[in-house]
Amino acid sequence: MAQLSITLCRQLARARREKGMTQSALALAVGCKQSAISMLESGQPEKLSQEAVGKIAALLEVPLESPSSPSSVLCPPSSGSFPSHSFCPSASCASNVPYAVAGELLFWPRPQPASAGGKHCAYCGEVLERQCPHCGATATAGACCPACGGAKVTNTLPAEIDGEAWAAQRRREIAEWKSLVT
């Protein structure tokens, strides 16, 4: 597959958010996994086939040939609040506290503040998920879905990163950010 620019990957993410779609909903619509959408949006389009990227671009009405300049992000009006266990699906978001278990990197989603309006992450602006990205069960507290055992937040970091060291450093950063706002 031809390499997509990081600008185009970000434009696809922006278009998805502007349409109010979750990564899981987009993945379902094009027939791939939520983690592949997350990786595409983080600049790793090689995880998807050219056909899948074409479907995504068509669904989001983003031309692949010549990406246009970034538009401002406008959130559609909220149609009510989401359940209290909505979570941000982005591994890089400060709302998700990383930890390592048996060498596997997992993320514990932090509850979203009420001021977020219930639809977008108060930390990064991502559309909040309300269901497990693997089985579709209603989201509950915790890092993994009690119905299928799948991780709610998919690790999209490069494989060569030492998960335990990165998680420890990230927790220190999150604690520092938290101390600045409280």
Token code pair at residue 149:
């055992």
Could you give the CA distance from residue 20 to residue 29 in angstroms, rounded to a whole number? 14
**27 or 70, greater pLDDT:** 27
Instruction: Say what the pLDDT of residue 59 is.
Output: 92
Range of the domain at 43: 6-60
What is the average pLDDT score of the chain?
78
Residue 106 has pLDDT above 80, yes or no: yes
pLDDT grade for 169, boundaries at 50, 70 and 90: very high
pLDDT grade for 5, boundaries at 50, 70 and 90: confident
In-domain check, residue 75? no
Rg (CA), the chain: 16
Q: Which amino acid is at 123?
A: Y
Read off the pLDDT of each residue in 46-71 and give the average, rounded to a whole number.
74
Cβ neighbours around 164 below 10 Å, total:
15
In-domain check, residue 41? yes
The reply to whether 37 and 113 lie within a common domain is no
Return all residues near 54 (Cβ < 8 A) that are at least 6 apart.
64
CA 128 centroid distance within chain: 8
User: Dihedral angle at the C-alpha atoms of 52, 29, 41, 76, nearest 10 degrees?
Assistant: 140
Number of domains in the chain: 2
**43 or 36, greater pLDDT:** 36
Could you give the CA distance from residue 44 to residue 179 in angstroms, rounded to a whole number? 33
Among residues 174, 39, 181, 163, the alpha carbon closest in space to that of 95 is found at 174
What pTM, to 2 d.p., does this model score?
A: 0.56
Domain CATH for 16? 1.10.260
In-domain check, residue 77? no
Specify the range with the lowest mean pLDDT, choosing from 77-81, 94-98, 147-151: 77-81
In-domain check, residue 56? yes
Domain boundary residue among 39, 60, 81? 60
